[in-house]
Amino acid sequence: MMRRALPLLVLVALAVAVLLARGLDPAHLDPAVAWAGPSRAHPLGCAEAGADVLSVVAASLVRGIALAACVALTGFGIGVPLGALGVYRHGIAERAVLRVCDLLQAFPSFLLALVILAAVRSPSRVHLYFVFALTAWAPFARLAIVEGRVLREAAFVEAARALGRSAGQIVRLHQRGGEQV
């Protein structure tokens, strides 16, 4: 797991280091150096109004990763309990959660983001967050349902049922992964 995360951590560390070491605000404009090529002062050059391209890229990377982390945590926080509730309630509840997941996963989230953000008067990062969070919970809910189905038939759950435990007690007692009954 750590080997997969290492490149991302290196990118974030580099972006933060660039922002801290250079001390250049990505929003700072210096018209005197507009369209300047790469130099020691500006390793990637400057953009149209004199914005330092390296600072803009580093700030965008940090903001993008922060947005992705927030969306993933929100998706996890909504999807896992919703999927667990669907498995716990069986039948219609489980099927309803799965059908909503199917609907959300069948429609491309990027296209949905474009449509919704085009309808908003002044789109911002907050709007983007809500659009992606709207669809991010579906894979987590589906995974929770699949895992819940497996655990529902596990030996320790069968043993708890044989001891007369209710479904609520089984969920509470075994939420940490098969504790003693």
What is the reported pLDDT for 178? 52
Arithmetic mean of pLDDT, 121-146: 94
Confidence check: pLDDT of 99 > 60: yes
Q: Which residue has the higher pLDDT, 96 or 90?
A: 96
Confidence tier at 179 by pLDDT (50, 70, 90) = low
pLDDT at residue number 152: 84
CA distances from 72 to 65, 119, 129, 163 (A): 10, 24, 10, 38
* Tokens at 114, concatenated: 């474009």
What is the rounded average pLDDT of the residues 27-36?
91
User: What H or E segment, with its residue span, contains residue 24?
Assistant: none
Structure confidence at residue 96 (pLDDT): 96
DSSP state of 46: B
Residue 8: Cβ within 10 Å count: 11
